[in-house]
Amino acid sequence: MVFSSLVFLFGFLPPCIMIGTLLHRRIDLQNLFLLFVSLLFYAWGEPRRVLLFVITIFLNWSLVILSARADSDKGRKTLGIAAITIDILILFWFKYAGWLGRGIGLEIGSATLPIGVSFYIFQAISYVADATLLGKYEAEKSPVNVGLYIAFFPQLIAGPIVRYEEMRDQIRNRRMTLDRFEQGCFRFIFGFCKKVLLADTVAVIANRAFSLGGDLTSSFAWIGAIAYTFQIFMDFSGYSDMAIGLGAMFGFKIPENFNCPYRASSIRDFWRRWHITLSVWFRDYVYIPLGGSRKGDRRTILNVAVVWLLTGIWHGANWTFILWGVIYGALVLTEKIIDIDRHIREWNSVKRVAYRMFSLLAIMLLWVLFRAENISSAAAYVGSMFKFGSEGISEAVLYISEMKWSLIGCTVLSVVPYDKINRKRTVLWPMILILFLVSVSYLVKGTFSPFLYFNF
């Protein structure tokens, strides 16, 4: 089940809201209900994996409980490390074992990737690490509360990746208010329209471009790359908008995951704005524990390289993702070494704009690598982009003409912060409702289009 489906919009969500609202004075019962519907939501798309999901939740909760009863600090940390090891092994088996096995001629691992496994495993690891290794809070006694934290359906499948310390007080004590509910509805519909009207529309261009192979012209290669650059942002940020909105409807504040990333002044700035919760997770649970930038330049370089290698691997079992992470790591390290933030502050406006354009070009070319099936396909695609010469551009012009309003919408929403839109929501409500009805009509007559990050 996905948010941008008729089943979710008109079958699943309305009773969840109605029953959840009736239970708002009994947080314990509402938590139990939300855990039940979250597991139902997951089971709808992964009926064969829901038992694994429940076992994962129970193991993390129980091992943290046992660690709290340990006689020594060493025993507590040992149980925490055991829980984290189990989590990593689950992620490895389903996401990477098959890929590595095929590389050495063996058929091992699972043929299908459980939906959302990268996200809920990371949330489980953060809960265990904070409770047992870092001692940020005591073990949560209620399995329902831990289960709701890991399984809460708005951000279960594709984030944002939430920390338990951000959710603990909200799980125990929160309020559903009319104002928060209204803000949540607006945010959800806003993200829904981004997904259906923008991401799914420009996806037509991207899919066409990446399917042409040797017949791809330079002009269409550029249009396809731009379309995918827009698609992945509108798709993923649209999901995050919907997750944040759904959370608000039930009284939760889910952290922001994007901050106009295509307005970034540099590569490092882009990653401060893109998939923020993932970047923060790697910073707090990998980069800082490895020593961060506190142990000299060589160690810092190594730590950054490890983080970016893991970032690439996290996105999928494919050499394209690994190379994507390695290249980003090299770019981020280069900017860190030359202190690009200081240079940008000192440069005049022309130099700042020039570097911003360079950064956007690098980001777009790396999205090509991210989208391609393999490295050779990515190289061929990039080669087509720079294969200038006499060629027909009629197909590119036709697609631009057909999709111009979607492309304009993507451009505007890529640079306008949501806070600015939210301040005008009272005025924008009529327009957003009209766009919602148009989006629903697209679903009625269209085809199923899953979110891109469901694959990761």
Yes or no: say if 169 and 175 are a contact pair by the CB < 8 Å rule: no
Yes or no: say if 357 and 305 are a contact pair by the CB < 8 Å rule: no
| CA atoms of 192 and 242, how far apart (whole Å) | 6
Nearest to 119 by CA among 260, 303, 243, 290: 243
Q: Which of 24, 275, 315, 343 is catalytic?
A: 315
Yes or no: say if 314 and 370 are a contact pair by the CB < 8 Å rule: no
**Mean pLDDT, residues 188-200:** 95
What long-range pairs does 418-425 form, CB within 8 A, spacing at least 24?
418/187, 418/190, 418/241, 421/190, 422/183, 422/186, 422/187, 425/183, 425/186
Whole-angstrom CA distances from 308 to 135, 326, 327 are 27, 6, 9
Q: Give the E-state strand segments of 16-111 in sequence order.
A: none
pLDDT at position 103: 73
pLDDT at position 66: 94
What are the structure tokens assigned to 453, written together? 């990050």
Residue 357: pLDDT above 60?
A: yes
Residue 326: pLDDT above 70?
A: yes
More confident residue, 238 or 71: 238
> Which amino acid, one-letter code, is at 342?
R
> Which amino acid, one-letter code, is at 347?
W
pLDDT at position 99: 78
b/e burial code for range 21-45 (CB count within 10 A of at least 16 → b):
eebeeebeebbbbbbbbbbebbbbb
Yes or no: say if 328 and 267 are a contact pair by the CB < 8 Å rule: yes
Q: What is the pLDDT of residues 8-61, one digit of tens each?
A: 999 999 999 999 999 988 999 999 999 999 999 999 877 888 998 999 999 999
Give the global pTM: 0.92
Q: How many CB atoms lie within 10 A of CB 175?
A: 9
| CA atoms of 233 and 422, how far apart (whole Å) | 19
| CA atoms of 158 and 286, how far apart (whole Å) | 21
Residue 447: pLDDT above 60?
A: no
More confident residue, 207 or 394: 207
275 is catalytic: no
Domain ranges of the chain: 25-174, 180-455
- Least confident range from 120-124, 251-255, 296-300, 334-338: namely 296-300
User: pLDDT-derived band of residue 376, with 50, 70 and 90 as boundaries?
Assistant: very high
User: pLDDT-derived band of residue 215, with 50, 70 and 90 as boundaries?
Assistant: confident
Residue 448: pLDDT above 70?
A: no
Residue 449: pLDDT above 70?
A: no
Q: What is the pLDDT of residues 231-241, one digit of tens each?
A: 999 999 999 99
Q: How far is CA 304 from the centre of its chain?
A: 21
Residue 276: pLDDT above 90?
A: yes
Q: What is the pLDDT of residues 303-314, one digit of tens each?
A: 999 999 999 999
pLDDT at position 451: 63
Yes or no: say if 148 and 114 are a contact pair by the CB < 8 Å rule: no
pLDDT at position 24: 87
b/e burial code for range 77-91 (CB count within 10 A of at least 16 → b):
bebbbbbbebbeebb
Q: What is the pLDDT of residues 74-83, one digit of tens each?
A: 889 999 999 9
SS3 216: coil
